[in-house]
Chain A
């Protein structure tokens, strides 16, 4: 991976990472690994993989899941586990917003990995996604926390990228 994500996030609190579709799993894994080595209190918001599967993947990749709090928008569970909160659906943006705000309000989250804007864009129009993003970015800024939003390149058009740039500190397009 050419970029140094640890350096980038230390200089820019809010980053949008546009990743070529074919490279997405590898770049995401490298990103999570790098950030888990630099931060001790992270949040992983997943809109496309259930908590149980993420734990398996983290284990296989030797990523310490104990450093993470998870928000699972896929499993459709109501109960909450030790380090996981469930959101009823990736389309439940208000619920997701409230959940993320509650978590940020604990003051325990240094950095969030939001996986991914692609899933949001699959369900909602670009302006709905941009409004949600703007709202959640405001929360990160209020709580002095950092966030990396990931997105697959083929899932976002040029105009949406330009609009997202208006609110993020940096937009990185991985080659």
Chain B
């Protein structure tokens, strides 16, 4: 298959490494960022097929990062999935839909489920 590029954004470096390994073993090209600002900076020079975004990060939250991705004409069409410990309220889920977030995966996650859901979106 074509090597799809995924950007994983999470402030927990152990989790970032774990998710990266899982995705690379499936043949994905993986880029990482440890916060929202680094994610947006990297998106200026690279265009992943999908961004896997944590919600609760210091500095810029995942929600704010996603809003900025959507507001930039160069990045607005990138697929975004939340990978988060957060349990969203119905109001929160509606906000995700409005931001065109395709899915949200809750931590702790099942490796195979994570891969299956990402593959389905690419």
Name A residues whose Cβ lies closer than 8 Å to a Cβ of B: 14, 125, 127, 130-131, 134, 137-138, 141, 159, 162-163, 165-171
Q: Is B61 a contact of A130 with CB atoms below 8 Å?
A: yes
Would you call the interface of chain B mostly helix, strand, loop, or mixed? loop
Cβ contact of B89, chosen from A127, A130, A169, cutoff 8 A:
A169
Question: Number of contacts between A and B (CB, 8 Å)?
Answer: 48
> In the assembled complex, which residues on chain A have CB atoms less than 8 Å from the CB atom of B27?
none
* Size category of the binding interface on chain B: 10 to 19
**Given that A165-B95, A166-B92, A166-B95 are contacting pairs, would A134 and B61 also be in contact in the complex, using a CB cutoff of 8 Å?**
no
Q: Is A165 a contact of B61 with CB atoms below 8 Å?
A: no
Q: Is A162 a contact of B64 with CB atoms below 8 Å?
A: yes
> In the assembled complex, which residues on chain B have CB atoms less than 8 Å from the CB atom of A165?
91-92, 95
State in angstroms the CA–CA spacing of A82 and B91 once bound together.
38
Interface string of B64-101 (1 = CB under 8 A from A): 10010000000000000000001111111001000000
Q: Is A127 a contact of B56 with CB atoms below 8 Å?
A: yes
> In the assembled complex, which residues on chain A have CB atoms less than 8 Å from the CB atom of B58?
125, 127
Q: Is A134 a contact of B86 with CB atoms below 8 Å?
A: yes
State in angstroms the CA–CA spacing of A86 and B58 once bound together.
29
**Given that A127-B58, A130-B56 are contacting pairs, would A166 and B64 also be in contact in the complex, using a CB cutoff of 8 Å?**
no
State in angstroms the CA–CA spacing of A141 and B89 once bound together.
10
The verdict on B8 contacting chain A, using a C-beta distance below 8 Å, is no
State in angstroms the CA–CA spacing of A25 and B31 once bound together.
50
Cβ contact of A159, chosen from B57, B61, B90, cutoff 8 A:
B61
Q: Is A170 a contact of B61 with CB atoms below 8 Å?
A: no
State in angstroms the CA–CA spacing of A134 and B90 once bound together.
14
The verdict on B105 contacting chain A, using a C-beta distance below 8 Å, is no
> In the assembled complex, which residues on chain A have CB atoms less than 8 Å from the CB atom of B61?
127, 130, 159, 163
Q: Is B57 a contact of A127 with CB atoms below 8 Å?
A: yes
Chain A's nearest CB lies how many Å from the CB of B100? 15
State in angstroms the CA–CA spacing of A162 and B96 once bound together.
11
